[in-house]
């Protein structure tokens, strides 16, 4: 690159994110445009596509789903990436900041798709993708609480899970691979450490059919997990929580997964692990008006 040639920076602002209105365009250009020629792109529709090919720097403004899409979009590229969270819950960025860090070096992988903090199926997991854009913008995080009762259901996920030379098989209401201290807004994974090359596997067995009685039974398991949390590996009749480097889940039928807030249909054999990222990822604070 010649002395007079500036680096190229691509700024992506997802205007569908819950707090995108707080992003200040002038502040973005001032911070990232002094040493780069800047291209500013807006995401206004779910099928809007973009590419970072040919750019030296990428700035992503959006929520967990926007960040997930960016990580997968740039897979195999080695560029500077800055993430400015402006979603509704921002689970991933809150985890990173609460650990006193701002750099991400590894991430989870589910069947070759990167995830920054969670890949899960079962009870409550649709909360990540069923809340409408309109409601997120209007009600912010309260929009999710409005859906909690509706999503309080017993699921019956027939699966075989192989991890740490162990095998768990049966009927589960929640299966979660977590690379975070938090999910559903609860800071329950006190074992989490950034970039430790570990995931945490959470399994909650199903009490059976989705009946009022079984929903009541399920409540005690969810209270133990999300309100009390874990400081070490845990195993009981209905709950398993363990650190893992990798796992293989074999589903008996097709299931809907929430991957960083995005809905992905999975079936059959699913390989989940963790790997170093190709790009340097820096998580920013708010760039607001």
Question: Is residue 3 left, alpha or beta, with left meaning phi > 0 and alpha meaning psi from -120 to 50?
Answer: alpha
- Residue intervals of the chain classified under CATH 3.40.50.10330 are 7-108+278-283
The model's confidence at residue 195, banded by pLDDT at 50, 70 and 90, is confident
pTM of this structure: 0.92
**DSSP assignments along 86-154, one per residue:** -SSS-HHHHHHHHTT--EEEEEEEETTEEESSEEEEETTTTHHHHS-HHHHHHHTTHHHHHHHTTT---
Cβ pair 188, 225 in contact under 8 A: yes
Cβ pair 71, 114 in contact under 8 A: yes
Half-sphere exposure of 100 (CA within 13 A, CB side): 1
pLDDT at res. 100: 63
pLDDT at res. 95: 85
pLDDT by residue (tens digit) across 254-273?
999 999 999 999 999 999 99
- Residue intervals of the chain classified under CATH 2.60.200.40 are 118-276
- In this structure, of 88-102, 181-195, 205-219, 237-251, the range with the lowest mean pLDDT score is 88-102
Q: What CATH number matches the domain at 118-276, 2.60.200.40, 3.40.50.720, 3.90.79.10, 3.90.1150.10?
A: 2.60.200.40
How many helices (H) does the chain have, and how many strands (E)? 7, 16
pLDDT by residue (tens digit) across 174-189?
999 999 999 998 999 9
CATH architecture of the domain with residue range 7-108+278-283: 3-Layer(aba) Sandwich (3.40)
């Amino acid at each position: 690159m010649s002395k007079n040639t500036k680096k190229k920076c691509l700024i992506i602002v997802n205007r569908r994110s819950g707090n995108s209105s707080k992003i200040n365009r002038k502040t973005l250009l001032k911070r990232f445009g002094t040493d780069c020629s800047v291209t500013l792109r807006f995401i206004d529709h779910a099928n809007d596509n973009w590419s970072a090919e040919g750019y030296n720097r990428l700035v992503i403004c959006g929520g967990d789903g926007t960040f997930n899409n960016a990580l997968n979009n740039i897979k195999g590229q080695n560029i500077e990436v800055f993430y400015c969270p402006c979603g509704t819950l921002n689970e991933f960025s809150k985890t990173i900041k609460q650990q006193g860090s701002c750099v991400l070096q590894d991430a989870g992988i589910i069947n070759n798709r990167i995830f920054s903090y969670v890949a899960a199926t079962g009870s409550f997991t649709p909360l990540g993708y069923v809340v409408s854009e309109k409601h997120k913008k209007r009600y912010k995080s309260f929009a999710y609480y409005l859906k909690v009762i509706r999503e309080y259901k017993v699921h019956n996920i027939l699966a075989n899970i192989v991890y740490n030379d162990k095998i768990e098989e049966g009927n589960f209401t929640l299966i979660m691979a977590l690379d975070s201290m938090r999910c559903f807004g609860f800071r329950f994974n006190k074992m989490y450490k950034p970039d430790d090359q570990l995931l945490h596997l959470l399994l909650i067995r199903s009490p059976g059919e989705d009946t009022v009685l079984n929903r009541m039974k399920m409540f005690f398991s969810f209270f133990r997990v999300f309100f009390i949390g874990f400081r070490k590996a845990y195993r009981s009749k209905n709950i398993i929580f363990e650190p893992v480097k990798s796992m293989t889940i074999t589903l008996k039928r097709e299931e809907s997964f929430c991957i960083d807030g995005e809905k992905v249909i999975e079936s059959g054999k699913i390989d989940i692990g963790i790997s170093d990222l190709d790009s340097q990822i820096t998580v920013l604070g708010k760039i607001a008006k």
